């Protein structure tokens, strides 16, 4: 403990990242911060969270939370870069955990519809298939739900605060 202000020296360095999705888990997180920010900021260093901060740093993360699926090679590269900078990676929400609903187009069986979406795929450099997170990088934990299950998210955060000896 810090003898001056009574807060732990080591904080959990986290990043929060969003890919192809509706970002409702991010909205849930901001709602959680309404009640938990004072407690969490003593324990957690929010190093990267673009929805809330303009200055972000994704280097040397303890835990990266990733919501959304990968719909392009560019997004896959970004996910791999996050993985390389984080000790643990957590999939947040159904789109990251299972791919769905963001990966719905993978299941289209209508040939005419599939031909139409080829324009979008080419124009916006999308991949032929939308991928869930663990098809792109190794994932250490999963917080399912659409949006994420809040209790499970809190349990997972607590788990990693304990893994790093912070609580
Ligand atoms: S899992 Fe549901 S709430 Fe979360 S990003 Fe996907 S569609 Fe939105």
In terms of Cα–Cα distance, which of 16, 21, 36, 1 is closest to 154?
36
Q: Rounded to whole angstroms, how far apart are CA atoms 97 and 92?
A: 7
- Residue 86, classed as helix, strand or coil, is strand
Cβ atoms of 83 and 137 within 8 Å: the answer is: yes
First and final CA of the chain: distance in angstroms? Answer: 11
Q: Could you tell me the distance, in angstroms and rounded to a whole number, from the CA of residue 23 to the centre of ligand 1?
A: 6
Which whole number is the average pLDDT over 12-37? 97
Q: Hey, what are 66's tokens?
A: 């990733």
Provide the pLDDT for residue 4: 58
Mean pLDDT, to the nearest integer, of 134-145?
Answer: 98
Give the residue with greater pLDDT, 119 vs 2: 119
- Label residue 109 by pLDDT band (50, 70, 90): confident
Assigned token pair, 136: 């792109």
At 14 the pLDDT is 98
Q: Is 95 in the pocket of ligand 1 (CB under 6 A)?
A: yes
**pLDDT per residue over 31-54, tens digit each?**
999 999 999 999 999 999 999 999
Cβ of residue 146 lying under 6 Å from some atom of ligand 1? yes
Residue spans of the domains in the chain: they are 12-161
Taking the centre of ligand 1 as the mean of its atom positions, its distance from the CA of residue 4, in whole angstroms, is 42
| Minimum mean pLDDT range among 54-63, 99-108, 111-120 | 111-120
Closest CA to 129 of 112, 110, 107: 107
In Å, the largest CA–CA distance within the chain is: 68
Q: Check residue 7 and give its pLDDT.
A: 56
Other beta carbons within 10 Å of 37: 13
Counting from 1 in the atom list of ligand 1, the atom nearest the Cα of 69 is: 6
Does the domain at residues 12-161 carry the CATH identifier 1.10.10.10? no
Ligand 1: which atom is nearest the Cα of residue 97? 1
């Amino acid at each position: 403990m810090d003898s001056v202000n009574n807060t732990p020296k080591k904080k959990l360095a986290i990043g929060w990242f969003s890919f192809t999705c509706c970002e409702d888990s991010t909205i849930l997180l901001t709602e959680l911060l309404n009640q938990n920010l004072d407690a969490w900021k003593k324990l957690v260093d929010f190093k990267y969270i673009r929805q809330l901060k303009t200055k972000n740093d994704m280097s040397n993360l303890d835990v990266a939370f990733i919501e959304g699926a990968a719909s392009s090679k560019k997004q896959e590269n970004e996910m791999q870069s996050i993985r390389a900078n984080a000790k643990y990676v957590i999939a947040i929400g159904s789109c990251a955990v299972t791919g769905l609903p963001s990966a719905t187009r993978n299941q289209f069986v209508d040939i005419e519809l599939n031909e139409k979406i080829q324009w979008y795929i080419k124009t916006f450099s999308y991949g032929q298939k939308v991928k869930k997170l663990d098809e792109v990088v190794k994932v250490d934990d999963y917080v399912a739900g659409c949006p994420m299950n809040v209790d499970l998210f809190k349990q997972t955060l607590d788990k990693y605060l304990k893994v790093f000896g912070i609580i």
